[in-house]
Amino acid sequence: MKDKIWILLMILCLLIIGVVTGITFSLDHTIYQFFVSFHNPLLLEIASFFSSFSSVAVLFVISFILIFFLRNNKDRLFLVITLLSSAAFILLTKNFFARPRPELGSMLTDYSFPSGHSFISVAFYGFLLYLLQKSKPNKYIKNFFTIFLIFLIVAIPLSRLVLGVHYITDVIAGAILGILLLFLIVYLYNKVELPLKKEKPLLQTFHYAIDGIFSTIKRERNMVIHVLVMILVVGAGIFYEISMEEWLICITLFGMVLALELVNTAVENVVDLVTEEKKAKAKLAKDAAAGAVLIMAFFAACVGILIFLPKII
């Protein structure tokens, strides 16, 4: 492993020297013109599609989804570390070298060297590939995603050349940096020991949560009132055509009131489970939880009046 790292570092140093001194200028432009010569609408659409897998929006969505589906907190933590460290490092290196992009990439606001998409594709999807090999899913599912991740790791850097937004040295340097970061992340992952808690399947935890919501609606009068008020407010919002900002405020308040009512129900049941005797602390716990719901509901009603009263009058 150390030999591979030293070889990669030597290649990276040679690339940097070549780019800074202009030695690679001729090679870069020759390969750039080669890829540009194949341009056609369909090819550019395909390249743009695969390139988007290393865009900020797609990486954020993938990370957000995986946070729920990864097997433990260690995997989640290192996934986020990989993504954030990749973004930070590529930002620093791009601004340090400040290499202008080729002609077709000149509309982009950032610099060319090294390729951020290539860097992140190797580091981020490479780490997902590492986690996949450690997991034990169905054999066919594992093989499918292994092939898919390897394909992305290759296709994303290639797509940057096809689009004409990077030189070949940008892409190679980005890929090497991604490999080096991946080695570091995997090394730290294996060194760091975190307590691993056996977790229940995600769908099962959703089932428990949904069951708790419907059980509360069935048994608690106040929860039914909150839900009916929410339905009425939604109907009024549609009728009076409230703005997107007003919808966001209403939806946020719905969630806060309903969540507090669920917490209030949980507190009441836990207190009853612990003791059925009339104790001052037990009464305070129940009253405080109910008071929290009342305060939230009161202020939600005030906000609702401020939104709807001018429209009614």
**Active-site hit among 199, 220, 241, 261:** 261
H/E run at residue 158:
helix 139-163
For the chain, state the CA radius of gyration.
Answer: 28
Q: How many CB atoms lie within 10 A of CB 236?
A: 16
User: Helical H runs in 70-125?
Assistant: 73-97, 116-120
Helix pair 280-312, 244-274: axis angle to 10 deg: 160
Instruction: Tell me if residue 245 is catalytic.
Output: no
Residue 52, both tokens: 């988007």
What is the three-class DSSP state of 54? helix
DSSP string, 114-157: S-HHHHHIIIIIHHHHHHHHHS---HHHHHHHHHHHHHHHHHHH
Residue 243, both tokens: 């703005």
CA dihedral sign of residues 305, 308, 312, 313: positive
Q: Is residue 160 within 8 Å of residue 114, measured between CB atoms?
A: no
User: Helical H runs in 241-279?
Assistant: 244-274
Q: Is residue 304 within 8 Å of residue 233, measured between CB atoms?
A: yes
Tell me the catalytic residues.
261
